[in-house]
Amino acid sequence: MATIYSNPSTTIFREVDNTIEAPGQRAPLVVGGRNFTSVTDVVTDVNLKPAPLGWYIGFACAVTMLGVYLTSVAYLLTTGVGVWGNNNSVDWAFDIINFVFWVGIGHAGTLISAILYLFRQNWRTGINRFAEAMTIFAVVCAGLYPALHIGRVWCAYWLFPIPNQMAMWPQTRSPLWWDVFAVSTYATVSMLFWYVGMLPDLATLRDRTKSRVAQVAYSVVSLGWTGSCRHWHRFERAYLLLAALATPLVLSVHSIVSFDFATSQVPGWHTTLFPPYFVAGAIFGGFAMVLVLAIPAREWFGMKDIITIRHIDNCAKVMLGTGMIVSYSYAMELFIAWYGGNHYEQAEFLFRAKDGPYAFSFWCLIFCNAVVPQLLWFKKFRLNPWPLFLIANIGNIGMWWERFVIIVQSLNRTFLPSAWRLYWPSYVDLAMFAGSFGLFFTLFLLFCRFLPIVAMAEVKSIMPEAHAHHKEPHKQTADQAAGDFRPDEHHKPVRH
């Protein structure tokens, strides 16, 4: 694959296919013949140079959507939850659908940062920083929905186990209370992991910026980082401990979210399949969002040498693997309903797929999550960023429809026919859902503008120059300058 593009110096570069595995050689994760200085330049230029016009256009759109969200929330608080489309049967509707959706989006960042770090997967270094930021911003969007769902937001402190005059305490046997601990712990550890990993890069911005205000700000947040041996030793120890602490959270958080459903008696929910099914679906949706953010970022910020086609290919492979697990879970749900002989379960799944008014949503999720990801078996789809961008967006759409099917279709027709009610979202539901994307992208664009979106220190650690046995390469050939920097293919070995 060779995509032609140009840089400001008018030199023509090729985008290198560094996914090729050659025996005895390790494929480069940073291409384009870059050294430590050029990696620092390309990353810090995003923060220290004037923002491009596209950033202002995107930020204006995001802030507009954020305004829609804030207006909808203000109307909700002044009027009451009756402005939603919820009814006595479907009392969990768009608010819990979107809560589960956003929590799932946040899973890929911690998986990339923690689990892949412990397994020493070096390809994570190009994408882990903005994936971690994505995790935090997605958890922010998710956490607002349960707070609004209680109706009386000013009484939200009742949810916490603090002494009060009414002697009212949370029900610790409820999975809803487990959610509070799981999501809040996940958000705290993810924030610490993201911030600690950013300290060396914040010090780099502190040393490079010309603005006095920015120097002071970056000096404060970099905590006096000097790059001494003691600082690096403590940094690596803290980073390892936080990675070990965050790893079980990746598996436990969405498992606990699934207990909100699996511990009930509602047909379609009461199954032990939900914890692994929810975790696989969260990783699938999270990596889809990583691709949605990474593909435009590498294009617009000129980072194709750092976020290479190998990073894109590996994310697509993870999407394919978790998509297969999700597809298997769909098949097992239908099989267990038939094999178990439970008439309520059988009627529920027949209602979902054939007879119900929401059958279209069931087939939407099957198409988006089980059919479309099969294209990722073919390398030409995995290595073409913009078709892959479309597939990733379809995957996110499918994961939202999955939560809609699980929640709305299971609640609107339960055991009592007298309690059957159809649910249709109100315009406030739709405005809040669209506006939550405004909140997410506003935070993400601010992050791109003022904080390093690539972990420079970690990227440099996997480059050949970081190894003690590295020797200065010979003068680059034209192919190497174009991006095909593979010294073993161009130079004869030096005999000592």
| Torsion region of 167: left, alpha or beta (phi above 0 gives left; psi -120 to 50 gives alpha) | left
Question: 283 pLDDT exceeds 80?
Answer: yes
Of 176, 342, 338, the C-alpha closest to 264 is 176
Q: What is the pLDDT of residue 481?
A: 41
Return the domain boundaries, the chain. 3-459
pLDDT per residue as tens digits for the range 433-471: 999 999 999 999 999 999 999 999 999 988 888 776 666
pLDDT band at residue 472 using 50, 70 and 90 as cut-offs: low
pLDDT per residue as tens digits for the range 176-206: 888 888 888 999 999 999 999 999 999 999 9
The per-residue DSSP string of 176-208 comes to: HHHHHHHHHHHHHHHHHHHHHHHHHHHHHHHHH
Tokens representing 115 are 């689990």
CB 71 within 8 A of CB 428: no
Share of the chain above pLDDT 90, in %: 51
pLDDT per residue as tens digits for the range 47-89: 999 888 889 999 999 999 999 999 999 999 999 888 998 888 8
Question: 229 pLDDT exceeds 70?
Answer: yes
The gap from C-alpha 31 to its chain's centroid, in whole angstroms, comes to 25
Question: 24 pLDDT exceeds 90?
Answer: no
In the block, tokens 């560094």 appear at: 18
Of 295, 287, 310, 311, the C-alpha closest to 131 is 287
The per-residue DSSP string of 444-484 comes to: HHHHHHHS-SS-HHHHHHTSGGGSTT--PPPPP-HHHHTT-
In the block, tokens 């949810």 appear at: 159
Question: 476 pLDDT exceeds 50?
Answer: no
pLDDT per residue as tens digits for the range 98-116: 999 999 998 888 888 888 8
What average pLDDT does this structure show over 397-404?
94
Whole-structure pTM value: 0.87
Phi and psi at residue 14, to the nearest 5°? -105, 140
What average pLDDT does this structure show over 272-284?
92
More confident residue, 491 or 113: 113
